[in-house]
Amino acid sequence: MLSVRHKDDRGMTETGWLNSAHSFSFGEYYDSKNMGFGPLRVINEDSVRAGTGFDTHGHANMEIITYVLSGQLEHKDSLGNGGIIKPGDMQLISAGKGILHSEYNPSETEDVHFLQIWIMPNETGTKPGYQQTSFNTDEFHNALRLVVTPDGAQGTLRIKQDAKLWGSKLDGGKSVALEMALNKKYWLQLARGKVNVRGQALEAGDAAGFDNETGKLDITALEDAEFILFELPR
């Protein structure tokens, strides 16, 4: 079963320093029909103005992935980790029994545009952890690059859930395909451009979910495009 989440149907948070579009219920935005997709609980498309950011705050029992589209994001946490995340980098925080962190745009001129993703773990109360990896961006070009897995295979970030995440950047007219497994859910979040997915045209900000389907998931770029693709337990 294919379901489409159009960009204009997302919830919005707009402040003087943050614009955020919520694919699922988040903060003051509540939609009983969009509480998540399997263990995928949050996809926020955030734009944070230069010199601003999220003050120190806490999380627990959540796997938090940050995927930067443009600009830079500075991270600091209560485990002593700190650094800059930029396009090509992937960050995964396993909040476990509790972690404090802050996120700040260190640029004086450029906004940072990123996706923040929350996935519910398959175990709770664990020791919190932090991972950050820089990927070769060429590996995303007209291909599906695996970036998150349960076992850390192929240099991926290791998540505490039976979930996988791929990233891809397609030139217009190019295609990629993934063989879908039975008893899995798949979610495609389009960040840039336009694609065709099984006859459905998607624009930047749109998403498509597939539940318990098999066969090839073919994705064709109608123009230059960038997206992430999840495999999730049902």
Cβ atoms 200, 10 nearer than 8 A: no
Structure confidence at residue 1 (pLDDT): 65
Question: Half-sphere exposure of 215 toward its Cβ, with a 13 Å CA cutoff?
Answer: 9
Phi/psi at 8 (5° precision): -75, -10
CA separation, residue 82 to residues 77, 79, 95, 183 (Å): 7, 9, 15, 38
Other C-beta atoms lying within 10 Å of the C-beta of residue 212:
13
Domains of the chain: 2-233 (2.60.120.10)
Rounded Cα distance, 59 and 63, in Å: 9
Rounded Cα distance, 21 and 8, in Å: 9
Per-10-residue mean pLDDT of the chain, 234 residues long, equals 91 97 97 96 98 97 98 97 95 98 97 98 97 96 98 96 98 97 95 96 97 93 98 96
Structure confidence at residue 2 (pLDDT): 83
Structure confidence at residue 47 (pLDDT): 98
- State which amino acid sits at residue 18: L
